[in-house]
Structure 1
C-alpha cells in the first residue's frame, strides 16, 4: 500500500495534467483561443441543439428515383447490347420497377440471354420461353443501393454545410432511408435548406439539331426543359452524357465579359480530356449544360476547349451563382431529398436547459461533497478531490473528441458524479470493517483496497455492458446519454481507485498514524 511504483505515479500525474490542459480551453472564449500559440489545444466540446437552440431537419432519401435512374441506364445498355447482337425486340420500357421487353424471335433466346446478362450486370434477369424479358433489382440489391445512396448523401450534405461555415452540425442516418440534420445556433434554416436539398447534378450534353428542326425525337434523345422558360421552352438533347459533373474539381463565383454573375469551373484530367474531345469534335454545335433536369445554358461551341476549364453563364444572381458553385464543389446528391420534418429550438429553451443542468450538477456536487466529508472525514476529502478530477477528465475527453453535449449528456454527467464515489464508499466501508477486526491502519487500508477492488471492477463492468447496449441500440439523445456515461465509468474507476489510493499512500507514508480517522 505504501509503495507506489514511480512509473505509476508518473502515469497518474501525466493523465491528470493532460486532463487540465485539454479541459482548460472550455473556459476561454473562441476569439481568445484563436489568438493563442498554435501548440495550445483548441478543441472544445460544443453545446447541442437542445442547449443552444437551432434547427432540426429530417430528410427522406427518394430511393425510388435512384432505382428508376439506374433502370433507365440499364434500358439504354439493353438497347445497345441487343442491337450489337442483331437481336430484334419490341416494347422496351421501364414499367412497374423493372426493365421489360419482348423478343421477336424466340429462337435466339440463348444469344439474347448472353447479351442481356452484360446489360443487367448484378440485377436479376428473367427470360421466359415466350420471349418476355424482365430485369429488376432483387431485395438485397435494392437495399444495398439504398444504403449506398444514404451514405453518399450524408457525405455530400456534410461537405455543403461545412462550406457554409456552420459549426458543429450533426448529420446522422435514421432508419434505412432518412437523414437527420441538426444545426445548432441556426435560427433560420431556409438558405441552408436550399443548399442542402438541391440535387446539383450537372451534365454536359449535345443538342440534337436534327430533332430540333424536324420535331421528331429519336430513341437516343429526349426533350429537356429550359430553366428560364418555366417548362415551356425546351430543347431535344442527346441522352448520352458527354461530361459529368462528377469530374469537376472546382467551381467558383465569377463574372462574364458583361460583368454578370457566372460560374467558372475546372475538370480533373479525365473530365478535361472528355471535355476537350467533345468540344473539338462538335465545333459549331450547341452544347447544353443541364442542371437537375433543366437546361441552364446551351451555347454554340466556337472552338475546341482543351484546358479542362470553362465558365457557365445564365440567369444568375451573385448569391445563386455562389450557392450553385458551392453545391458543385461539394458534389451532386445521388438522389433527391424530401423534407419530412422541420422544427426550431429557441435559445430561451436552450438557456433554461443549461440553467437546469448547471443547478443539477451544482446540487449533486455539493450534496456529495458534504456527505463524504461528514461520513469519512479526511478520506472523504480525498474522495472529493477525486470527484473534481473525474469531472475535469470527463470534460477533457469530451473536448478531445469535439463531442456535442446535449441535455441527456448532462444527465449522464450528473449520474456519473453520483456513481464516482461508489468505489470510495465500498473501499472505506471495508477499511472500517478491517479496523474493527483489529488490523493496523496500513494493513486495514491495504486489505480494504485489495478486497473491494474486485467488487468495484465487477460493478463497473456490468454498468459498462448495459451502457454499451444503450449506445448500440439507442438513437439520438440515448446515444448522447450513453457516451457520457461510458466516459464517466472509465474516469471514475481511474480517479476513485488509483488517484485516491495514491493520495492515501502519500498521507500514510508521511504521518504513520496509529489510528485511522474514520
Structure 2
C-alpha cells in the first residue's frame, strides 16, 4: 500500500516538475508553450490602438467582415504579424498593433478607405470596385479538361456588367490589372469578351489565398468609408512596467495563498499548493497553445481563477473536517468530503463560468481578455481541485500519513 502511495506522489511530482519546465523552457528555438511564447497585449508590450467607424449607420455583417479582412490584410502586408483587427459594436473596428510607436504613421500606412480599380496596361481605369456585386472563392475547372483548382469568381452590377463587357472586348489578349490602393493584387489575361456580368480570376491560388483575394475585392466595393475616431499610443516602457507590476502582484498573491494553505491545513494545504503549481503551469501552457493575447485584465483573470481553485480546496477540506468530527476514519472522511463538496464546487464555478462567457461575447477589448483567462482558469482549476488534489491526498494517506493532526485537524 505504501509503495502504491509513493508511486502516486512520485507521478504527481514528475507532472509538476515537467509542466513547470515546459512553461519556463518551452519546445524548440521559439520556446513554444512557454511563458515567452504567450502573446502580450498593448498594455503589456506597448503599441498603437486605433478605433475606426464606418460613415454609415446600417452596416451589414458581411460588409463589416469584408472591411476587417481588408484591414487585416494591410496589417499583414506591412509586416505587423501580431497586429489584429476586430469588430467592436455594430459599425466599429478596433485595430491593435503591438510594437509600433507612432499612431498617426500607422494610420497612414493602413489607410482609411479601400480604393479598388480595374485598369488596362496603360494605367487607364476601366471600372471601379463599387461596380462589383460580389466576389467569392470557388473550386473547379477553369478550362476544358483542366483539373479543379481554387479561383475567384466575380459578379458585377448592371453598370459594371456593361463596362466590363466593353473593357474585355477592347483588351483581348492583354491583361487587366486589379489594383487595390495602387498595388496590383492580380493581373489576369483577357481571353474573350465577357458579357454576362461574371468574371474569373485564376492563378496559383490555394483555397486560403483565393478566399483572401475574394475578401479584398469585396472590401474594395464597400459602400462606406472608415473614419478614425480614436487613436492611442502605449509606450513600450509603460507596457514593460505594467507587466512587471502585474507579475509582481500575482507572485505576491500566490505566495500568500500558498503560505496560508500550509499554515491552515498542513499536509492538506501542502497538497493544495502542489495542485496549485500544476494548475498555474497548465494555465500558462493553454494560454500559449491557443495564442491567447495576455493583458493586464487577463492577469487579473488568472489570479481570480487561482483564488477560486484554492476556494474549492477549502470547501473540500472543511467537508473532510466535518466527517472526521463525527468519527469517521481519515480515508473515509476524504472520500466522503470530496463527494459532498462536488455539487457546491460545480455550482459555484459554473455560475462564474456563465458570467465569463457573457463578458466574452458581449464585451470587447480588455473585458474580453479578462473573460478569456477567467474561463480557461475556471475549467483547469476544477480539474486540479477535484482530480489532482484528490490523487495527492490519497497518495499521502496510502504512503503512511494517517494521523489527522498532520492534516491540520484536531479531533478526539
Q: TM-score, structure 1 length as denominator?
A: 0.58
Q: What's 2:101 paired with? A: 187
- Distance 1:443-1:179 versus aligned 2 partners, 3 A rule: same
Selected match of 1:419 from 308, 315, 324 = 308
Counterparts of 2:240 and 2:265, CA distance in 1: 37
Partner of 2:19: 20
Match of 2:51 in 1: 58
**1-side partners of 2:153 and 2:312: how far apart?**
63
TM-score by length of 2: 0.71
Deviation by residue 1:327-352 (Cα, 9 ceiling, x = unmatched): 99954542422111111101121122
Task: Spell out, residue by residue over 1:391-434, the C-alpha distance to the aligned partner (whole angstroms, 9 max, x if none).
Answer: 11111111111010001001111112222111111111221222
Distance 2:168 2:389 in 1: 78
- 1:459 aligns to what? 348
> 5 Å matches for 1:97-108?
none
Instruction: Give the equivalent residue in structure 1 for 2:235.
Output: 346
- Counterpart for residue 382 of structure 1: 271
Question: Residue 392 of structure 1 corresponds to which residue in structure 2?
Answer: 281
Asked whether the equivalents of residues 48 and 103 of structure 2 are also in contact (C-alpha less than 8 Å), the reply is yes
| 1:403-482 correspondence runs (5 A) | 403-482=292-371
What's the CA shift for 1:16? Answer: 5.6
Tell me if 1:503 matches 2:367: no
Q: How far apart are residue 287 of structure 1 and its match?
A: 10
> Residue in 2 aligned with 1:148?
62
> Are 2:408 and 1:494 aligned?
no
Q: How many residues are aligned here? A: 354
Deviation, 1:155, is: 1.2
- How far residue 471 of structure 1 moved from its aligned partner, in angstroms, is 2.1
Structure 1: 5+ residue runs without aligned partners? 65-142, 207-226, 228-234, 250-266, 298-303, 310-325
Contact 2:300-2:370 within 8 A present in 1 as well: yes
- Pairwise CA distance, 1:246: 8.5
- C-alpha change, 1:508 and 1:156, in structure 2 (3 Å) is same
Deviation of 1:291 after TM superposition, in Å, equals 6.3
Partners of 1:46 and 1:338 in 2: how far apart?
A: 28
Q: Which residue of 2 aligns with 1:401?
A: 290
SS in 1 for 2:60: helix
Distance 1:161 1:18 in 2: 40
Matching residue of 1:204: 118
Larger radius of gyration: 1
- Compared CA separation, residues 293 and 425, structure 1 to 2 (3 A): closer
Matched, 1:177 2:66: no
Whole-angstrom distance in 2 between the partners of 1:293 and 1:366:
54
The verdict on how the C-alpha distance between 1:466 and 1:359 changes in structure 2, with shifts beyond 3 A counting, is same
Residue in structure 1 matched with residue 247 of structure 2 by the alignment: 358
What is the distance in 2 between the residues matched to 1:270 and 1:202?
16
- Counting only pairs closer than 5 Å after superposition, residues 3-402 of structure 1 correspond to structure 2 as 20=19, 24=22, 27=25, 33-34=29-30, 44-63=37-56, 143=58, 145-197=59-111, 199-204=113-118, 281-282=169-170, 306=191, 330-331=216-217, 332-333=219-220, 334=222, 335-402=224-291
Give the structure 1 partner of residue 205 of structure 2: none
Q: CA 1:240–1:383 in structure 2 vs 1: closer, same or farther (change >3 Å)?
A: closer
Q: Secondary structure of 2:82's partner?
A: coil
Would the aligned equivalents of 1:383 and 1:500 in 2 still touch at CA under 8 Å?
yes
Deviation at 1:454, TM superposition (A): 1.5
**Equivalents in 2 of 1:182, 1:343: separation in Å?**
10
Structure 1 CA distance for aligned equivalents of residues 24 and 73 of structure 2: 26
- Are the equivalent residues in 2 in contact too, given 1:202–1:290 (CA < 8 A)? yes
The answer to whether the 8 Å contact 1:202/1:244 transfers is no
Secondary structure at the residue paired with 2:227?
strand
Q: Is the 8 A contact 1:468 1:482 kept in 2?
A: yes
| TM-aligned CA deviation for residue 306 of structure 1 | 4.7
Taking a change above 3 Å as real, the CA distance of residues 413 and 41 of structure 1, as seen in their structure-2 partners, is: closer
How far does residue 188 in structure 1 lie from its aligned partner after superposition? 2.6
Task: Tell me how far 1:190 sits from its aligned partner.
Answer: 4.5
Higher relative contact order (CA 8 A, sep 6+): 2
Q: Give distance in 1, aligned partners of 2:216 and 2:105.
A: 16
Distance 1:450 1:270 in 2: 60
